[in-house]
Amino acid sequence: MRRRPWHVLLVAVAVALGAGCGVADPGPAGEADPPAAGEGAGLPATVVRVIDGDTIRVEARGFETPVRLLGIDAPETRHPDVGEECFGAEATARLKRLLPEGARVRLETDPSQDARDRYGRLLAYVYPAGRDGPAGSVNHDLVRTGHATVYVFRDPFMRLDAFRAAQAEARRAGRGLWGPPCFGATRGARREAAVGAALEGAGRAGTSRHRKPRRFAIAREPGLYAGRRRVVCLSLARPGRYVL
């Protein structure tokens, strides 16, 4: 049997690879490739589990990958410094209701943003089956119901205006984290513990029948503290008594 010259075999392999016969690259660390940047670019996926209020794991193209919901920030449930933030558990529970295990979704990246963040999570809008458009994503839903806030990392994302409008509506209506017990102050410990620490050494003033008692806080530690009427920032750089 006559053998073909080795250079002919190399040409045949090159032609096959050029025709797309090679093995597809599964992406970093064996994870699914992100969808191509551009409007309408989508990646079908299945929800594996919800990690917290703005992060999930999905299976796509035979691989698992973490997904960070783009354009939003939900309160933490396991913050390295303060543990659970105000409304963190509620935000996670909401996302679990919207994206139960096994749910089929479509992931879309944003051409104005990186495909993945520094932790290797895919940055995407997450769409349940049958939903589309700027207001159709789970990301937008969490902002609209007050379970997350709008988050811009570096450059504005394409659907920022729609997200900001949803946030303004939720804030006016006092939905979710914009109402009690957080009143928009999710950073740090839950409100009850935060106010308790802030009121160390507090006193009451103005007890006459023409003036309602006021609660004061002394800035022992920096941070945001929520009172009955407003949120104040206590700073060690500007010590003093603040009306809550």
Concerning whether 97 is annotated as a catalytic residue, the answer is no
d(CA 126, CA 14): 38
**In sequence order, what are the beta bridge partners of 45?**
105
Concerning whether 200 is annotated as a catalytic residue, the answer is no
Cis peptide before 222 (omega within 30 of 0): no
Residues 6 or more apart whose CB falls under 8 angstroms from that of 179 comprise: 146
- Strands 223-226 and 149-150, bridge-based pairing: unpaired
Q: Which one is catalytic: 116, 121, 144, 159?
A: 121
Concerning whether 76 is annotated as a catalytic residue, the answer is yes
Q: Which one is catalytic: 68, 106, 159, 190?
A: 68
Are residues 52 and 91 in contact, defined by beta-carbon separation less than 8 angstroms? Answer: yes
d(CA 19, CA 36): 20
d(CA 202, CA 224): 16
Residues designated catalytic: 68, 76, 121
